[in-house]
Amino acid sequence: MFTHAIVRIPAANFAEGLTTAALGVPDFDLVLEQHARYCGALQECGLDLTTLDADLRYPDSTFVEDTAILTARAAILTRPGANSLIGEVDAIRGAINQFFPTAPAIQSPGSVDGGDICEAGEHFFIGLSHRTNEEGAGQLAAHLAGLGYTSSTIDVRAITSILHLKSGISYIGDHTIVVMEEMAVNEAFRALDLIQVSLEESYAANCVRVNNRVLVASGFPRLTAALRARGFDPLILDMSEFQKMDGGLSCLSLRF
Ligand code: CIR
């Protein structure tokens, strides 16, 4: 069970962040509205929120997930793989240290984005992407091993439609993993129950289990129905403006 989450209000220059999506410019009023609804959903799931002020120095800083890996045993600060994001770690360190006073960090030349790290119980899948490199993955695996967790890497560099590992998979508890079609045959998931996301619904593969609910992006009826059929309780959120900046549901909070 999670009890807390850290979120950051989107900055007014949100649209200047990094993106590969060709979905148009985000409407900032709608960004704020969708973010507020997202925060409300976390509270509905029983979480206390630490809400950080908007930070104009970092247009992507509302995507707090990329700055840290929070586990039940300890936190590890990342070193994001895009230059414009690196300073975000110092900007959030104080908030994380309030809950995790000693958090080691990934060191150069290693790079890790939190979006590449998928916790699945005692095991962590570490995505090798254009943001998370082998050195960073190795450092993270060593930290996790020190905490008693196992880990393995999954190379997603050839899957051009996703930014991070978790753009394509989500572990939602109960031995169940939601997986986009391109990754469904991956041996890494053979011990888990799979919910396969169809090609047209790929964006929805980034969903988030928060206590008794699963946050799911709106507009993806097949995945929503598949979750309900397995006994999960989807909480649907409009993510249109975050999708324009390559962001998904998991990116918008650090949950612990
Ligand atoms: C970026 O490119 O870094 C942001 N525009 C999107 C980050 C999304 N983060 C995530 O999936 N964890």
Distance, in Å, from the CA atom of 218 to the CA atom of 233, rounded to the nearest integer, reads 14
Distance, in Å, from the CA atom of 20 to the CA atom of 49, rounded to the nearest integer, reads 30
Question: How far does the centroid of ligand 1 lie from the alpha carbon of residue 251, in Å?
Answer: 7
Q: What atom of ligand 1 comes closest to residue 206's alpha carbon?
A: 11
Distance, in Å, from the CA atom of 82 to the CA atom of 112, rounded to the nearest integer, reads 10
Tokens of 103: 């958090």
Cβ(245) – ligand 1 distance below 6 Å: yes
Which strands sit side by side in the sheet containing 48-52, from one edge to the other?
A: 48-52, 4-8, 254-255
Distance, in Å, from the CA atom of 220 to the CA atom of 198, rounded to the nearest integer, reads 10
Nearest residue by C-alpha to atom 2 in ligand 1: 18
**Tens-place pLDDT, residues 81-91:** 999 999 999 99
Question: How far does the centroid of ligand 1 lie from the alpha carbon of residue 164, in Å?
Answer: 8
How many other CB atoms are there within 10 angstroms of residue 85's CB atom? 23
Q: Is the dihedral of CA 163, 62, 16, 137 positive or negative?
A: negative
- Predicted confidence at residue 182, as pLDDT, reads 95
Collapse the DSSP code of 116 into the 3-class scheme (helix H, G, I; strand E, B; otherwise coil) and give the result: helix
Tokens of 131: 């943001």
Q: Which residues are catalytic?
A: 164, 251
What residue type is assigned to position 5 of the chain? A
Does the pTM surpass 0.85? The reply is yes
Cβ(65) – ligand 1 distance below 6 Å: yes
Cβ(80) – ligand 1 distance below 6 Å: no
How does DSSP assign 62-75, residue by residue? T-GGGGEEE-SS-E
Mutate to test the pocket of ligand 1, among 6, 13, 60 (most ligand atoms within 8 A of CB): 60
- Predicted confidence at residue 94, as pLDDT, reads 98
Question: How far does the centroid of ligand 1 lie from the alpha carbon of residue 234, in Å?
Answer: 23
- Supply φ then ψ for residue 186, to 5 degrees: -60, 125
Where the chain has pLDDT below 50, the residues are none
- Predicted confidence at residue 215, as pLDDT, reads 98
| 229 in Cβ contact with 213 (< 8 Å) | no
Q: Which helix (H) or strand (E) holds 210?
A: strand 208-210
